[in-house]
Amino acid sequence: MAIVQFPKGFVWGAATAAFQVEGAYREDGRGLSIWDTFCRTPGKVWEGDNGDVACDMYHRYKDDVKLMKDLGITSYRFSVAWPRIIPDGSGEINPKGIEFYRNLVDELLAHGIEPMLTLYHWDLPQALQDRGGWANRETIDHFLKYAETVFKALDGKVKLWATFNEPWCISFLSNYIGAHAPGLRDLQTAIDVAHNVLVAHGKTVRLFRELGIKGEIGIAPNTEWMEPFSDREEDVEAAWRRRGWLNEWFLRPVMTGQYPEKLVQWFEKLGGKPKIEPGDMELIGSKIDFLGINYYTGGIGRYNPEEGDIFGFQEVPMGWEKTDIGWNIYPQGLYNVLTYIKREFGDIPIYITENGACYNDEPGADGRVRDQRRIEYLKKHVLQVARAIESGVNVKGYYTWSLMDNFEWAYGYSMRFGILYVDYETQQRIKKDSFRWYRKLARNNYIEV
């Protein structure tokens, strides 16, 4: 049995997000978010599921931190709910909201677990959406006030900060495709949201530096890796445009201060254009300390203007194994993403801030959750991380998505990504086989192959 060793000090973590696990949706002054509204809009979320209770982590976090300690992780990635801190998005600060996150962070630190805090993981205060949301440039300044409040409340305790989770999902999935809140379907709105989120990111990085907040700051874009079905130019170009849309549109401005020009031209042909104000691109390109990379899947596709995506890219079914949510299992895609980032943007430190698999295994008669498919998925992807490190990519850590089963957005509670099983009736947590597998990896810092 050979082993693959990870670098000394490599961070093994697990990730969640506020709306997906906390519940307590109206407790201690929390305001409504766009996801509370979206869940209550008929037909948007599986069986009308919502985040009212979720995993009740708002009340159970102490026991959950004990489980994290048992898991042996050295870092836990979570997000702060803006509607808990400033309930209407731009007005009074809610001290009880700050108190909750201070208590969570103190509990983590008391157990030797480093927090990685995401400032924005999709739960925009509804009051701001009522005024245009992220498509309204004024939201940028409201976000800065929120970010400054959190920075000052947790400075010195939190050392790893991420501004935004998956800006592609915040913008295109939510305002062009319409699958996520607020469920709009307009290309220019999506481009405006993407741009304003990027400007908010850049201004937040500048604020972090100006305030002298301790630690490191980055952003956590989602990525995927699509390859062309053939070497025909139209297929090659369509695959590039898809990678450009999912990866480049955010990575390039954040890392270089420039949008990918070819894609700007394509968007213009489609009737959309970023509204760039003087100084925006320099702000967006403000130097960050790390990139958080979320990766789940990839595939093969070809040019099909009739049935493809906005750029005429259509996935070709390759018969690859898929997870229970229907995503291809493509571990090499993670290696391709990581080496692409190094090739294009240099030695930026990288944390894999999300990687995991949806498998809906239930407890057996003996109460054990046998999720061997998740173990196989995690093993294959962790090995690709090791391969990328071996080839010189500066990967500092890996957070599996997710610590526990939770509210999977439009899929509600029908899709399970956790290494902890959650019985939503009783809120009991059950360690899956993958929990024990991941515990061994986190403690050993090597994987047996």
Ligand X SMILES: N=NNCCOCCOc1ccc(-c2cn(C[C@@H]3NC[C@@H](O)[C@H]3O)nn2)cc1
Residues tagged in the binding site annotation for substrate: 20, 121, 165, 296, 401, 408-409
Contact between 405 and ligand X by CB under 6 A: the answer reads no
- How many residues belong to the chain? 449
- 408 touches ligand X (CB under 6 A): yes
Determine which helix (DSSP H) or strand (DSSP E) holds 252, and give its type and residue range. helix 249-256
Binders of ligand X among residues 157 to 186 (CB under 6 A) are 165-166, 169, 173, 177
Listed in sequence order, the DSSP H helices in 28-178 are 34-39, 57-71, 82-85, 95-110, 126-129, 138-154, 167-168, 174-175
User: In whole angstroms, what separates CA 99 from the centre of its chain?
Assistant: 24
Output the six-digit token pair for 38.
């979206």
245 vs 435, which CB is nearer to ligand X?
245
Tokens standing for residue 322: 């898929």
- C-alpha 123/C-alpha 227 separation (Å) is 33
Q: Which of 166, 224, 237, 248 is catalytic?
A: 166
Q: What's the closest the beta carbon of residue 223 comes to ligand X, in angstroms?
A: 9
Size of site (CB under 6 A) for ligand X: 16
10 or 164: CB nearest ligand X:
164
Tell me whether residue 185 or residue 209 sits nearer to ligand X (CB atom).
Answer: 185
Q: How many CB atoms lie within 10 A of CB 444?
A: 14
Binding mask 345-374 for ligand X (x = CB under 6 A): ---------x--------------------
92 labelled catalytic: no
Phi, psi (degrees; rounded to nearest 5) at 92? -70, 145
Judged by DSSP in three states, 313 sits in: strand
Among 17, 338, 378, 420, binds ligand X (CB under 6 A): 17
Q: Smallest distance from the beta carbon of 257 to ligand X, in angstroms?
A: 25
Using CB under 6 A as the binding rule, whether residue 293 contacts ligand X is answered as no
Determine contact, residues 402/15, Cβ cutoff 8 Å. yes
Query: To the nearest whole angstrom, how small is the minimum distance from the Cβ of residue 169 to ligand X?
Result: 6
Instruction: Answer positive or negative: Cα dihedral of 404, 408, 414, 416.
Output: negative
Q: Does 222 bind ligand X (CB under 6 A)?
A: yes
Which of 242/252 has CB closer to ligand X?
A: 242
Q: Tokens 């054990």 correspond to what residue?
A: 368
Q: Are 37 and 73 in contact (CB under 8 A)?
A: no
Are 331 and 384 in contact by the 8 Å Cβ rule? The answer is yes
Smallest separation, CB 123 to ligand X (Å): 10
Active site residue 354: yes
197 touches ligand X (CB under 6 A) = no
Annotated catalytic sites, by residue?
Answer: 166, 354
Residues contributing to the site for ligand X (CB under 6 A): 17, 20, 165-166, 169, 173, 177, 222, 294, 296, 309-310, 354, 401, 408-409
